[in-house]
A and B are shown apart, each in its own frame.
Chain A
Amino acid sequence: NAGVTQTPKFQVLKTGQSMTLQCAQDMNHNSMYWYRQDPGMGLRLIYYSASEGTTDKGEVPNGYNVSRLNKREFSLRLESAAPSQTSVYFCASSEVGGTGYSNQPQHFGDGTRLSIL
């Protein structure tokens, strides 16, 4: 059981380049999330998808777009990368999100380490 799989694991970009981070889960979860992790900041939510067909902004959405391709896959796109987007990006999923289901834990991928020069 792979859980949450993220690709690529490492990437170096030049300022202004674009790229898409891929995430797939095999747990039949409804909700998926993208976080970024920066030193001393914990994890901050970029975007989430409570269910297939819906996406919503999180705490730090500027400079990013997302696509919930199907129930399994949730991609994060940087249209024009900036050095401030150098970070470790984590995808997560949970069985259900939203009101009344706050006790469902999230399952995380191993992260994508992204450097933008």
Chain B
Amino acid sequence: GNSVTQMEGPVTLSEEAFLTINCTYTATGYPSLFWYVQYPGEGLQLLLKATKADDKGSNKGFEATYRKETTSFHLEKGSVQVSDSAVYFCALKGQAGTALIFGKGTTLSVSS
């Protein structure tokens, strides 16, 4: 079945550091891929998405490229801020699927 694996955290960075959170997936066909962010005490918010191979999703300085050859969708940001501290979830939605399949989440902590 479909699954998502993302790097375990926590990830601890200093402000302005470069961020990468790895995400790989297993799926049949051509799923859509998403990154969600969860700030403390809140629900999940869509950060970015990509719906076909080689698509790049971007938002708020975050980027991720849908790589079908490596079944990956790594999240990157060139310069993190303290306000980026949150839990990040990689997720996929299969062509025949209705609901999202989530990775276990990666906690990011950014200090000034």
Binding site for B on A (CB under 8 A): 4, 31, 33, 40-45, 48, 50, 56, 58, 90, 92, 97-100, 102-111
The interface centre, meaning the residue of A45, A90, A97, A103 with most chain B CB atoms within 10 A of its CB, is: A103
* Complex contact B43–A43 (CB within 8 A): no
Given contacts A105-B46, A110-B43, contact A43 B89 (CB under 8 A): yes
* Complex contact B43–A103 (CB within 8 A): no
* Complex contact A31–B43 (CB within 8 A): no
Given contacts A42-B102, A107-B46, contact A102 B97 (CB under 8 A): yes
* Interfacial chain B residues near A98, Cβ < 8 Å: 96, 98
Overall SS of chain B's interface = loop
* Interfacial chain A residues near B103, Cβ < 8 Å: 42
The size bracket of the interface on B is 20 to 34
Closest CB in chain B relative to A72 CB, distance in Å: 18
Number of A-B contacts (CB under 8 A): 63
- Expressed in whole angstroms, the Cα–Cα distance for A108 and B39 within the complex equals 13
Q: Taking CB as reference atom, which chain B residue is nearest A97?
A: B98
The interface centre, meaning the residue of B49, B51, B98, B100 with most chain A CB atoms within 10 A of its CB, is: B98
Binding site for A on B (CB under 8 A): 31-32, 34, 36, 41-46, 49, 51, 89, 93-100, 102-105
* Interfacial chain B residues near A4, Cβ < 8 Å: 43
- Expressed in whole angstroms, the Cα–Cα distance for A50 and B99 within the complex equals 9
- Expressed in whole angstroms, the Cα–Cα distance for A56 and B97 within the complex equals 12
- A-B residue pairs in contact (CB < 8 Å), sample of 22: A33-B99, A33-B100, A42-B89, A43-B44, A43-B100, A48-B99, A58-B99, A90-B43, A90-B44, A98-B98, A99-B96, A102-B31, A102-B51, A102-B97, A104-B93, A105-B46, A108-B36, A108-B43, A108-B45, A109-B43, A110-B41, A111-B43
Which of A103, A109, A111 makes the CB contact (< 8 A) with B51?
A103
